[in-house]
Amino acid sequence: MSNPTDPRQMPGADPYSGNRKIDPVTGYDTTGHDWGGITELNTAFPKVVIWALVLTFLYSVVAWILLPAWPTGRGYTRGLLGLDQSEEAIKGFNSLADRRQDWLSRFADDKFDVLSLSADATLMATAMPAAARLFADNCAACHGTNGQGGPGFPVLSDETWLWSGDAEEIATTIGHGINTEDPDTRYAEMPAFDWMERSDRLTLAEFVSEMPGRAVDFESPAGTLFSENCSSCHGETGAGGLEIGAPSFTDEAVIYGQDRETVMQTLRRGRHGVMPAWSGRLSEAEINLLALFVARLGQPAGGGQ
Ligand code: HEC
Ligand code: HEC
- Number of the ligand 2 atom closest to the C-alpha atom of 271: 18
CB 227 within 8 A of CB 216: no
Does 1 have pLDDT greater than 80?
A: no
pLDDT of residue 15: 47
**Cβ(156) to ligand 1 under 6 A?**
yes
Gap between the terminal Cα atoms of the chain: 89
pLDDT of residue 304: 41
Q: Supply the residue whose CA is at minimum distance from atom 17 of ligand 1.
A: 273
**Cβ(268) to ligand 2 under 6 A?**
no
Q: Average pLDDT for residues 272-299, to the nearest whole number?
A: 93
Alpha-carbon separation of residue 216 from 210, 221, 226 (angstroms)? 7, 11, 11
Q: Supply the residue whose CA is at minimum distance from atom 36 of ligand 2.
A: 230
**Cβ(302) to ligand 2 under 6 A?**
no
> Ligand 2: distance of its center to the CA of 22 in Å?
103
Does 303 have pLDDT greater than 70?
A: no
Quote the CA–CA distance of 102 and 120 in Å, as a whole number. Answer: 14
Q: Supply the residue whose CA is at minimum distance from atom 8 of ligand 2.
A: 190
**Cβ(244) to ligand 2 under 6 A?**
yes
> Ligand 2: distance of its center to the CA of 151 in Å?
15
Over residues 76-122, the pLDDT tens digits come to: 888 898 888 888 899 999 998 888 888 999 999 888 898 999 999 99
Quote the CA–CA distance of 85 and 198 in Å, as a whole number. Answer: 69
Alpha-carbon separation of residue 118 from 26, 106, 114, 122, 127 (angstroms)? 86, 11, 6, 10, 10
Comparing CA positions, the residue from 129, 52, 122 lying closest to residue 305 is 129
Q: What sign does the dihedral 268-225-253-278 (CA atoms) show?
A: negative
Quote the CA–CA distance of 114 and 288 in Å, as a whole number. Answer: 9
As a residue count, the chain comes to 305
CB 19 within 8 A of CB 32: yes
Of residues 168 and 30, more confidence is placed in: 168
Alpha-carbon separation of residue 237 from 210, 214, 215, 252 (angstroms)? 13, 12, 10, 15
- Per-residue pLDDT band for 291 (boundaries 50, 70, 90) equals very high
CB 260 within 8 A of CB 211: no
Of residues 177 and 41, more confidence is placed in: 177
Quote the CA–CA distance of 40 and 34 in Å, as a whole number. Answer: 7
Q: Average pLDDT for residues 132-140, to the nearest whole number?
A: 95
Quote the CA–CA distance of 158 and 162 in Å, as a whole number. Answer: 11
Q: Average pLDDT for residues 183-209, to the nearest whole number?
A: 95
Alpha-carbon separation of residue 203 from 14, 220, 225, 226, 291 (angstroms)? 108, 11, 9, 9, 39
Amino acid letter for position 48: V
Amino acid letter for position 87: E
Alpha-carbon separation of residue 210 from 47, 201, 241 (angstroms)? 93, 14, 19
Quote the CA–CA distance of 121 and 111 in Å, as a whole number. Answer: 17
pLDDT of residue 300: 66
Quote the CA–CA distance of 81 and 67 in Å, as a whole number. Answer: 6
